[in-house]
Amino acid sequence: MFAPVAEVPRSTAEASPTGPSAAGADSSGKKIDHKTRVPWYKRTAPYAYLAPALAMLVLWTYWPLLQTFQLSFFDWNMLPTSPKEFVGIDKYIDVATLPEGIKGLWNTVLYTAAFAVFSLVLPIVIALVSQQVRGRWKTFYQAMIFVPFLITPVASAAIWRWLFAANGGAIPSTLSAFGIELGNVFRNPDLALWAIVVIVGWQMLGFGVLVVSAGVAGISPEYAQAAGLDGAGAWEIVKRITLPLLSPTLTFLGLMTILLAAQWTYPIIDVLTQGGPSNSTTNMYYLLYQFGFQSFDTGLSSAAGVVFFIAFGLVAMLYLRLTARFNFYDD
């Protein structure tokens, strides 16, 4: 009934596919190269865009860092005509044994811990309270808190010097009415450091409030509304919803405080106390300046800078590892 069909051998069918695509050729019989060839100038274009930034990074960051590490093993007074004398690790030993170095390190820790109040605790409170303010007053309220951050440190130091002036200053005069005598705050070893903390903290507060307010604005209000329907109070909502969702923002502020607290205090210290009285307000940043540009001991300044760089790098790495476990993201 049916005509027999001749079976084509399997090897022949595989060896003789039909169609231009199977043969790797087009209709004219020319071979098609399936690999797209990108011109060399297009392949190198991304690296050309990055080259200026990488060059500046190497020139202004990594090369000075390498030179600092090299100079830490020499005794040199920065004069081009003066020879460099190799002293090994003597400068590192001096950093660890000098009384002012130990005092500067301890003050740096105190500054960092004190500024955590102004960059983390108070901004959280102010940001949450400002959420209750409605309309234009909310913007005005936040702007007034942020304004001190825009004032240059030198101008800020001049204003606070006048406010703390022993003769006629607004703060001592007000406190004297309540029987509290401050005297010359910046010449009192027990009060000078805390005066620096208040001044720098006053400036840092605005930045912290701005960052935390932005973090709070990014939290969906639906979470609080749902928790309120379930009977959660205001404190429970803050504790179990707002603060966990703010953890990435607080991590950023905490890291900025650890790394930059000593740097923020430098101009205030230089204008008001010069590290005194009796090194009570100095820190590692100001000691680097004193060693390098007042004592002209390049080796000691470089060694202190290397130690400071390594120590804060390790602290930052540990901090990031710890916070990565506790951060909560709203994915």
- Range(s) of the domain holding residue 244: 86-326
Assigned domain for 26 exists: no
12 confidence band (pLDDT: 50, 70, 90) = very low
Q: How many domains does the chain have?
A: 1
3-state SS assignment for residue 200: helix
- Which one is predicted more confidently, 292 or 325? 292
CATH code of residue 156: 1.10.3720.10
The pLDDT mean for the chain works out to: 84
Assigned domain for 123 exists: yes
Q: What is the pLDDT of residue 8?
A: 47
Q: What is the pLDDT of residue 306?
A: 93
Residue 13 reports pLDDT greater than 80: no
Cβ atoms of 119 and 209 within 8 Å: the answer is no
> pLDDT tens digits for 133-157?
777 787 788 788 888 888 999 999 9
Assigned domain for 41 exists: no
SS (HEC) of 276-307:
CCCCCCCCHHHHHHHHHHCCCCHHHHHHHHHH
What's the whole-model pTM score?
Answer: 0.78
Q: What is the pLDDT of residue 118?
A: 92
Q: What is the pLDDT of residue 78?
A: 86
Q: Could you tell me the end-to-end alpha-carbon distance of the chain, in angstroms, rounded to an integer?
A: 69
Q: What is the pLDDT of residue 265?
A: 92
